[in-house]
Structure 1
Amino acid sequence: MTTNSEGPTPRSLRVAHLTTVDMSLALLLGTELSVDVEAGHEVVGISAPGPYVERVAALGVTHVPVRTLTRSWAPASDLAAFRDLFTTIRSLDLDVLHTHNPKTGVMGRIAGRLAGVPVVVNTCHGLWARPEDSLAKRAFVYGLEGIAARFSDYELFQNAADEATLRPALRRGRHRVVGNGVDLVRFTPDPAGGRRVRAELGVADDELLVGTIGRRVREKGLEEFAEATSALADRATFVWVGPEDGTDAAAGTARTTGIRFVDERTDMPAVYSALDVFVLASYREGFSRAAMEAAACGVPTVLTDIRGCREVGDDGIHLRLVPPGDGRALASVVAELLEDPALRERLGAAARERALAHFDQRAVAAVSLQTYREVAQRKGLEAAARDDRVTVLHVLPADLDRGAQVYAGRLRDALATDPEQRHLAVTLFEGPPAALRADLGLGVPSGGLRRSGFDTRAVRALRRAVREERADVVVAHGGEPLKYCVAAAGRARVVYYKVGLSSAELARPSRRRLYRFLSGRSARVVAVSGSIAEQVHEVLGVPRSKVSVIPNGRDPGTYHPPTDGDVRAEPPLVLFVGQLEPGKQPGLFLDVIADLRSRGVDLEAAMVGDGPLRAGLAQRARTLGVELLGVRTDVPDLLRTASVLLLTSAAATEGMPGVLIEAGLSGLPVVSSDAAGVRDVVIDGETGFVCPSGRPEDLAHRVVELLEDAGRRTAMGDRARARCSAHLTVEATATQWRRLVADLTEKAVPAAGQGPIL
């Protein structure tokens, strides 16, 4: 380990990525190879040689050829390829071997372990057997993958369905779902490039162009694409961009009349931008890269309803899904898009928003680097890798699509490349992957012991994780994990991150005594807002010197004001976003709308969210013309459409309402009840209105003030955006967490970013 003014630098590793062909290294893994090089590691790419070797070398990667590697399976030649691969790997003196693709994933894991590589990691880019395949094929594929997994130290999966399929064969705690991504700097809408590509293809401006990108093989949906081409030849031009593939002899006999075939191009953002509709009719995908690239370029997409495509987005919101192998259904949905420009525009915009929020390849690559370090450290391989950074475990009960998990995951991602600190997300209890994407899922069954209030199995599992990860700090995100953190932390410092104002709960003497004790055992209590900080001091008796305030944060790339393609709704839209449960007081929102209707105010109103009160609200909402939208994934778009956000939560039920930050970053003024944490976000009269009375007529009066004065709405929205951008982004709060951890562990952190906003 060496140190300099920038902080300690982990020892350089010799890392090899193994694929079948060089095209996969250049196109599939280009960003991951670049991230490894930028991290200071010596990077090797192993594959059969081909036309992409120069592009691999241009990344700063040494290419090592294994000429006997092929995509197709043939026992005799594969035996020779395995021998050559084993000899090559053993000669390279690697620290890490990272295998990819079905064939090299199996061969490489076994060869790497036999060759004595200290760290062997595999990424499953898609199982090569589909659920509808024969039992014999599925048993062979899943069995072979299960055997190969026993030779690796860690398994990374691009989609949760593949992980679930192989889970019985995987070692507990040695696998995770990482998703997939693309280069979001490169893949962005390119209208000028799109016009140039259309001109080169001879496609007029008023013609519609439908295209697919990929190798010319049947499993990419060649026959179904041809069927759609034949059915819609009079409505659009159909183009297939990608090389021929000699491994699929049947592809050459498929009926492809009407399709214009174009060899592979290097200006892919321009190619995507030339398309009116992108189609991928594939039978099998791990996590479709081409679909993510199209989404990042803002192109409406039609994909097959298979694992690896479903993860790209939701049907009808970000894209359209059709059954695999059904050319008629594909043609029908493509025709729907060709006939509806507004639908194409809406799907394209939603797809790009999702790509920016979820498909960053650099974040996926950072997880791979983190995995190498974790495995090396667990195995005690000081010669292979030594990570002397401060380790912080962020502990949550389970992975859910809720605000706490979203924030913890984004906080972890924002600190992923920190030179001084290593932040990992941990879940205690079993459950499917969700917003958090936990680094360590302890998988304790959630049953009677948990419901009783304390599960000793969770204590043992967390204590083992603290020991194996050599944790310095353990952060309990909420009251439930605090019990386990205090019991399991050992020498690690415990931080209690208190995000909710549970006054009713703490009114019970037994609960108050418990949390006073647990808070007293914590090295620091971090409150999400000033109101929470006061409760921690007054009710739990924590000295003010041990209380810090670090607010919630959101991503300004996801939540931003309207752009050129966005407009505020007319008549103006008053929006509610939150769970339909008593603490959020959704009935008060309807009271306000009723008051506004009685005044003759011209407006639209909608409520986003679900919960136990929905059924009881439905009839009155219909009467008042309020649309109940349910759970939505396009909240950022709705905030850009609305004119006012109305929050009606009861005083003692919030900590810091995240939706207020989302609205502020979106340039949307708010009218709010005086719930806990609201004033940490909203400056009354400057970025919105806070109504202490909570009466519907007072809230309605403030809404009217904003609806009647567009200039005031815009000015308040601009000030809200400026305030939230300065103090309430994930990056800003990540800086405060870095400082807190540095203070607890007595390791200085250079000053940067914003401090607390009390």
Structure 2
Amino acid sequence: MTQASHRMKILVYPHTMEIGGSQLNAVQLAGAVRDRGHDVIVMSEPGPLVERVHKMGLRTIEISLHRRRPSPKVIQTMVRVVRDLGVDVVHGYEWPPIIEAFLGPALLQQVPVVGTVMSMSVAPFLPRTVPLMVGTELIRRAALEAGHQHVTLLEPPVDAEADTPLIDGGALRAKYGIGPKQIVIAMICRLVPELKLEGLLAACDSVGEMARSGRDVRLLIVGDGRARETVAAHAAQANATAGRNTVVMTGEILDPASAYAAADIIIGQGGSALRGMAFGKPLIVIGEDGFSELLTPQSLPTFLRQGWYGLGPGSLGAGASALRMALERLADSPSLRGDLGQFARNLVVERFSLRQAADRQEQMYLSALQDTVPAFARLADFVRSTAGLTGGKLQRGYQRWRGTAAIDDSNARDLIARILASHQTAPTTASAQQAPAKRK
């Protein structure tokens, strides 16, 4: 039983159940909080991660996959579940669940609501009285400056006890005809235009050129999504450049642990980057506007400040050529791969463990129960949030009419750029040319 004396009943509501960082964190933390002695229920749409929730023994409540966001029907369902099951706290992940929980249980039943935002920005219309957990220090400070009252840093957690260098990736390598001496570079992510696509295409170009120059490398792209055809076309082009099948697209793997284990090098961002580190793999963090940066002791402070993502040139420049230089450095040096892989593993165990995150999340639930939000503050939040949400929807409708709308407004790149620029208190990265000290 947890050290907390109050056994809570918690309704967890992830924004989607596709394979991805925020929703995987939601599921893992739901299980970890349950293991601390609480009653946890997961409300979600159908999706690949539902099977994982069932295997964890958590109770589930299904909502429709095809719905408006926010959805009046989902709000009604949530109010009914909270009433019938005696839910103490509702936890929404990303903006639609947070808004729906606020409009339902918070406003109508005075039930505490907390939110997690693992996107690279906090949507401007989110209620400021809802306690938030965010994934980076820059976003935490930006949210406080925007008027949010309670914002806690909760860096994306990793189950370092389940994801370890001891897992064998040999079967997956054999499945795709990868020899024991071939260098496997893996990208494990959703294949979507937002945040991911630029890095996926740069990786294809980089590995294609590396293979053409004689390096025995393979790129594994694990995942699926709306940009699959674009990525597949680029992969085919890279294979033509290399003169052999050097880029392999596996499609979605429900639990890609075998892919992380099979890799020698990880290219990633956000939760995928951290999970790769748990397997003891050297990491190149990818972003947009040409960003890529090798994780070293020198570059670590930047990622702890701004998150596992970036915009613009890294220490080696920008674009596929910079990514290729970092990859070649790792591919040509087994000792460097070992040193940086051990550094990455140690960092995850010491700072990003699931156990630590569950403790922090439990404390936030308890705090939400103890800190009553005045009715007038909730009402003011309602007026501001609904006005902002309505205005945003009208603007996106106009953008869709013009063909300029982004799919995921909570990841608006201009907002990310402003956050990074306004909090630039140190150089973007230290030179990645310096290798870490040898292990003793």
Q: What TM-score do you get using the length of structure 1 for normalisation?
A: 0.42
One-letter amino acid matched to 2:25: L
State the partner residue of 1:166.
143
Question: For residues 339 and 7 of structure 1, what CA distance do their matches in structure 2 show?
Answer: 48
- Superposed displacement of residue 29, structure 1: 2.3
In structure 2, relative to structure 1, the CA distance for the partners of 1:361 and 1:196 (3 Å cut) is same
> Offset of 1:336 from its aligned partner?
1.8
Q: Determine whether 1:224 maps to 2:221.
A: no
Give the Cα separation in 2 of the matches to 1:103 and 1:380. Answer: 21
Q: CA deviation at 1:100?
A: 0.9
Q: Which residue of 1 aligns with 2:48?
A: 51
Partner of 2:74: 85
Conserved? CA contact 1:96–1:118, under 8 Å: yes
SS of the residue 1:182 aligns to: coil
How far apart, CA to CA, are the structure 2 residues paired with 1:166 and 1:9? 28
Give SS of 1:184's match.
Answer: coil
Instruction: Give the letter for the 1:263 counterpart.
Output: G
Structure 2 matches for 1:102-181, cutoff 5 A? 102-128=95-121, 145-152=123-130, 154-172=131-149, 174-181=150-157
Please tell me whether Structure 1 or Structure 2 has the larger radius of gyration of its CA atoms.
1
Query: After superposition, what is the alpha-carbon deviation per residue over 1:311-344, rounded to whole angstroms, capped at 9, x for unaligned?
Result: 9764567999986672222122112211222221
Counterpart pick for 1:19 among 14, 19, 29: 14
Structure 2 partner of 1:341 = 334
Judging changes above 3 Å, is the alpha-carbon distance between structure 1 residues 355 and 20 closer, same or farther for their aligned structure 2 residues? same
Alignment correspondent of 1:31:
28
Against the structure 1 CA distance between its residues 340 and 379, is the aligned structure 2 distance closer, same or farther, given a 3 Å change threshold? same
1:370 Cα deviation (Å)? 0.7
1:270 to 245, 248, 258: 258
Asked if 2 retains the 8 angstrom alpha-carbon contact of 1:300 and 1:351, the reply is: yes
Change (3 A) 1:294 1:340: same
Alpha-carbon distance in structure 1 between the residues aligned to 2:71 and 2:279: 40
Report if aligned partners of 1:89, 1:115 keep a CA contact under 8 Å in 2: no
Residue type matched to 1:147 in 2? F
Separation of aligned partners in 1, 2:293 and 2:45 = 31
- Tell me the distance in 2 between the aligned counterparts of 1:183 and 1:332: 31
2: distance between equivalents of 1:348 and 1:314? 12
1:127 Cα deviation after fit: 2.8
| Cα RMSD (Å) | 3.5
Q: Provide the C-alpha distance between the structure 2 equivalents of 1:36 and 1:293, rounded to a whole number of angstroms.
A: 20
| Cα distance in 2, alignment partners of residues 50 and 163 from structure 1 | 30
Output aligned runs, 1:248-647, within 5 Å.
248=227, 251=230, 255-257=234-236, 258=239, 259-266=247-254, 268-280=256-268, 288-304=270-286, 314-315=297-298, 326-379=319-372, 641=440
Per the TM alignment, residue 302 of structure 1 is displaced from its structure 2 partner at its CA by 0.8
Q: CA deviation at 1:249?
A: 7.8
Contact 2:95 2:126 in 1 (8 A): no
> Structure 1 residue 7: deviation in Å?
9.9
Q: Which amino acid is the alignment partner of residue 142 of structure 2?
A: T
Taking a change above 3 Å as real, the CA distance of residues 256 and 109 of structure 1, as seen in their structure-2 partners, is farther
CA distance in 1, matches of 2:206, 2:17: 32
**Contact 1:14 / 1:41 at 8 angstroms: preserved in 2?**
yes
User: Could you tell me which of 190, 204, 207 is aligned with 1:215?
Assistant: 190
String of CA shifts for 1:330-378, please: whole Å, max 9, x gaps. Answer: 1221122112222212111111111111110221121111111112122
Q: Please list every run of 5 or more consecutive structure 1 residues that lacks an aligned counterpart in the other structure.
A: 1-5, 71-76, 129-141, 283-287, 382-431, 433-631, 642-758
Partner Cα separation in structure 2 for residue 352 and residue 116 of structure 1: 44
Q: Give, in angstroms, the shift of residue 210 of structure 1.
A: 1.0
Structure 2, unaligned runs of 5 or more: 240-246, 313-317, 375-422, 424-433
Read off the aligned partner of 1:82 and give its amino acid letter. S
Distance 1:122 1:310, change over 3 A: farther
Counterpart Cα distance in 2 of 1:187 and 1:310: 23
Aligned to 1:237: 218
Amino acid at match of 2:115: N
Once residues 153 and 295 of structure 2 are traced to their aligned partners in structure 1, the CA distance between those partners, rounded to angstroms, is 14
Q: Deviations over 1:392-431 (max 9, x none)?
A: xxxxxxxxxxxxxxxxxxxxxxxxxxxxxxxxxxxxxxxx
Counterpart AA for 1:168: E
Deviation at 1:68, TM superposition (A): 4.4
Equivalence map 1:668-687=2 (5 Å): none
Letter in 2 for 1:295: M
Rounded Cα–Cα distance in structure 1 between residues aligned with 2:231 and 2:186: 19
SS at match of 2:349: helix
2:73 and 2:230 mapped to 1: Cα distance? Answer: 30
Identity %: 19
Tell me the residue number matched to 1:199: 174
In the TM superposition, what whole-angstrom CA distance separates every residue of 1:261-284 from its partner, at most 9, and x where no partner exists? 11333564432222111112x5xx
Query: Closer, same or farther in 2 for the Cα pair 1:272/1:240, shift >3 Å?
Result: same
**Aligned counterparts of 1:255 and 1:311: Cα–Cα separation in 2:** 23
SS in 2 for 1:46: strand
Letter in 1 for 2:15: T
Please tell me the residue identity of whatever aligns with 1:56.
V
- Shift in alpha-carbon separation, 1:310–1:364, aligned structure 2, 3 A: farther
Cα distance change on mapping 1:166 and 1:43 into 2, 3 Å: same
- Report the Cα offset of residue 46 of structure 1: 1.7
Q: How far off its partner does 1:12 sit?
A: 2.8
Separation in 2, partners of 1:28, 1:330: 28
Name the aligned partner's letter for residue 265 of structure 1: I
SS at match of 1:20: coil
Q: 1:313 to 1:338 in 2, by over 3 A?
A: closer
Shift of 1:104: 3.0
Q: Of the two structures, which has the highest relative contact order with CA contacts closer than 8 Å and spacing of 6 or more?
A: 2
Evaluate the alpha carbon distance shift between residue 201 and residue 353 of structure 1 in structure 2; reply closer, same or farther with a 3 A threshold: same
Deviation string 1:424-448 (CA, Å, 9 cap, x unpaired) is xxxxxxxx9xxxxxxxxxxxxxxxx
Aligned partner of residue 343 in structure 2, secondary structure: helix
Distance in 2 (alpha carbons) for counterparts of 1:252 and 1:357: 35
- Mapped to 1, the partners of 2:310 and 2:139 lie a distance apart of 20
TM-superposed deviation, 1:169: 2.3
Superposition deviation, residue 239 in structure 1: 0.9
Alpha-carbon distance in 2 for matches of 1:50, 1:40: 27
Change (3 A) 1:34 1:379: same
Matched residue, 1:60: 57
Partners of 2:26 and 2:34 in 1: CA distance: 12
Partners of 1:116 and 1:233 lie apart in 2 by: 60
CA contact (8 A) 1:47 1:69 kept: no
Q: Give the distance between the partners of 1:348 and 1:7, measured in 2 at CA.
A: 33
**Residues in 1 aligned to 2:92 and 2:111: alpha-carbon distance in whole angstroms:** 14
Mapping for residues 710-729 of structure 1, pairs under 5 Å: none
Distance 2:293 2:89 in 1: 32
Residues 9 and 62 from structure 1, CA distance in 2 versus in 1: closer, same or farther, beyond 3 angstroms? same
Cα deviation per residue 1:571-618 (whole Å; 9 max; x = unaligned)?
xxxxxxxxxxxxxxxxxxxxxxxxxxxxxxxxxxxxxxxxxxxxxxxx
Matched residue count: 349
Question: What are the superposed Cα offsets for residues 541-563 of structure 1, whole Å, 9 maximum, x if unpaired?
Answer: xxxxxxxxxxxxxxxxxxxxxxx
Paired amino acid for 2:181: D
Counterparts of 1:160 and 1:7, CA distance in 2: 28
Q: Given the superposition, is the C-alpha separation of residues 149 and 326 from structure 1 closer, same or farther in structure 2, using an over 3 Å criterion?
A: farther
1: CA distance, partners of 2:266 / 2:229: 24
